[in-house]
Chains A and B, each alone.
Chain A
């Protein structure tokens, strides 16, 4: 079966840096997404990694190691509005196409 693991919940202080990890054991791999989801809203796209290494985009960076089945999302200069759930999704082959399969999400709480 497919297994995507993330911590359930994390807390951090405003202005700090937080790293949210995601490990996966899947049959097939064609990239990894990170999404942000605020309560009661739909997910919004943050990043996509298909090659090993770090992708930086403003305050958010995402890292991938395919050999280790590991990714992390790094959030810098945390703001209160960053309190949300962060979803890791692995793009898996399916019937000639690809579909993202989501982890359970990490709920991040940023406090003053």
Chain B
């Protein structure tokens, strides 16, 4: 299957700092990528849809000024958590559509963020 990478896999930061997470499609071009957040023992919650060359579409309740998304190329999307607080601690997962049946999403390995 298609490969999606994320970097970093783990982040520990102080409250008030900003954290950037990168999502790359390694062997295909992705015009659309998705960013999810998952709290322990809960399902994936879609945060935003990232489209190459245009502004991201945010889900209701997600602050676009806090979670900055940039999709500068067909293989790279970045999520920046600005002024992070402890409640932002979570597992952040990106995915990209790689064609295939139903435009299958392929997920990155996730980034675990801990804000102290």
A residues in contact (CB < 8 Å) with B: 30-31, 33, 35, 40-45, 48, 50, 87, 91, 94-95, 97-105, 107
Contact = CB atoms under 8 A, between A and B. Distances in A.
Interface of B: 1, 32, 34, 41-46, 49, 57, 91, 93, 95, 101-110, 112
A99 B46 contact: yes
A91 B110 contact: no
Contact of A99 (B49, B93, B101): B49
A42 B49 contact: no
The prevalent SS among residues of A at the interface is: strand
Contacts of B1: 45
A42 B3 CA distance: 12
Contacts of A95: 57
Given A95-B57, A104-B43, 10 more contacts: A33-B102, A41-B110, A42-B108, A48-B102, A87-B43, A99-B34, A102-B43, A102-B44, A102-B46, A103-B43
A100 to B, nearest CB: 6
A42 B93 contact: yes
21 contacts: A30-B102, A42-B95, A42-B108, A42-B109, A42-B110, A43-B93, A45-B1, A45-B105, A48-B102, A48-B104, A50-B101, A91-B103, A94-B49, A97-B32, A99-B46, A102-B45, A102-B46, A103-B43, A104-B42, A104-B43, A107-B41
